């Protein structure tokens, strides 16, 4: 029953057990990880093109993505604002001039473009493209191995994680409220609750959720998960500078798993250096939880 969970955990654990001290090698691993994301999303686009009743399924994808985004994002923000009322986090940092948020958003949309390119190419129905789903499974295993290596060598120790209480608490609130939002979205859409929990467990990690859930739940729900998480990152980029003034916890929490990488510079410039330790801990915890929870809830 949990063979899918083992397939996800095994490469992650193996990768986490591999220490890499060579900085040039680590940089190459990080570049390879980025490249693998593009490869797998390309395969995902091809798989979409082989769906039966394509036009109807595309409508379902965007309907599902929209409902999941509204439910999960709203649940996260409400819970995090309540946390700030109960446990105030005063932030007096004077915001620095931010890089172009449009430019950062376009970087995220490049991944969406890869899916679209794969989809358009898949419409040719070339016979070799029927193997796209199997190819994406092997590529996913390799990607998870690289993710494990990256997490092991991210510089975070267990001591550092346990010392930052705020980062841990925000990660816990995001985890629980996202699951509640996902369950609500599933009820509204008439989907199994487990599917809603699986989609909500990505915490904005769109480059993994689309891949993993396409393999487990099919291309419709996998694509909906991808667009839901992509929308989360894009909206987070736009809202962080405003949210950090009224609710620093919400500004951090809406970033999800990306708070330790892509959205970290925006958090730092908007909220100051004090945002960095909880942001890294928060992102690290969610990055560990996401593949495990997605695989668990998506298991047959």
pLDDT digits (tens, 9 = 90+) for 10-44: 887 788 788 888 888 888 887 887 788 788 778 87
CA dihedral 28, 107, 278, 70 (to 10 degrees): -140
Q: What whole-number distance in Å separates Cα of residue 186 and Cα of residue 44?
A: 23
Residue 72 pLDDT level (bands cut at 50, 70, 90): very high
Percent of the chain with pLDDT over 70: 84
Give me the pLDDT at residue 191, please. Answer: 96
pLDDT at res. 101? 58
Q: What is the pLDDT of residue 1?
A: 36
Nearest partner of 84 among 181, 170, 174, 161, judged by Cα: 170
With H, G, I as helix, E, B as strand and everything else as coil, classify residue 201.
coil
**pLDDT at residue 103, rounded to an integer:** 64
Tell me the CA distances in angstroms from 239 to 84, 101, 155, 176, 247, one per residue in order. 17, 10, 28, 22, 11
The most confident of the ranges 147-161, 174-188, 240-254 is 174-188
Question: Tens digits of per-residue pLDDT, 262-276?
Answer: 777 778 777 776 787
Higher per-residue pLDDT: 93 or 261: 261
What is the pLDDT, as a whole number, of residue 90? 73
- CA-nearest of 263, 246, 90, 76 to 172 is 76
What are the tokens at 10? 């095994």
The whole-angstrom separation of Cα 114 and Cα 206 is 13
pLDDT at position 272: 75
Band of pLDDT at residue 219, cut at 50, 70 and 90: confident
DSSP label at 52? S
Q: How far apart are CA 143 and CA 279, in angstroms?
A: 24
Q: What pTM does this model have?
A: 0.76
E strands within 18-152?
none
- Tokens coding 80: 């995090």
pLDDT tens per residue across span 152-182: 776 666 566 557 889 999 999 999 999 999 9
């Amino acid at each position: 029953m949990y063979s899918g969970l083992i397939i996800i955990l095994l490469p992650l654990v193996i990768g986490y057990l591999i220490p890499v001290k060579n900085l040039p090698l680590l940089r190459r691993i990080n570049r390879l990880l980025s490249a693998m994301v593009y490869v797998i999303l390309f395969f995902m686009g091809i798989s979409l093109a082989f769906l039966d009743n394509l036009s109807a399924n595309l409508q379902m994808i965007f309907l599902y993505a929209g409902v999941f985004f509204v439910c999960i994002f709203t649940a996260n923000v409400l819970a995090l604002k309540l946390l700030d009322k109960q446990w105030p986090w005063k932030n007096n940092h004077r915001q620095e001039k931010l890089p172009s948020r449009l430019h950062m958003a376009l970087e995220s949309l490049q991944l969406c473009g890869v899916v679209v390119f794969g989809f358009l190419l898949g419409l040719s129905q070339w016979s070799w493209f029927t193997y796209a789903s199997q190819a994406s499974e092997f590529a996913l295993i390799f990607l998870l191995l690289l993710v494990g290596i990256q997490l092991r060598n991210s510089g975070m120790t267990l001591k550092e994680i346990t010392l930052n209480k705020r980062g841990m608490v925000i990660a816990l609130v995001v985890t629980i409220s996202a699951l509640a939002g996902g369950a609500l979205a599933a009820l509204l859409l008439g989907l199994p609750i487990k599917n809603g929990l699986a989609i909500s467990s990505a915490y904005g990690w769109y480059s993994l959720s689309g891949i993993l859930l396409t393999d487990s739940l099919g291309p419709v729900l996998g694509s909906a998960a991808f667009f839901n998480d992509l929308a989360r990152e894009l909206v987070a980029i736009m809202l962080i500078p405003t949210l950090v003034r009224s609710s620093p916890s919400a500004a951090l929490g809406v970033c999800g798993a990306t708070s330790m990488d892509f959205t970290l510079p925006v958090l730092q410039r908007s909220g100051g250096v004090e945002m960095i330790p909880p942001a890294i801990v928060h992102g690290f915890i969610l990055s560990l939880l996401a593949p495990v929870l997605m695989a668990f809830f998506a298991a047959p």
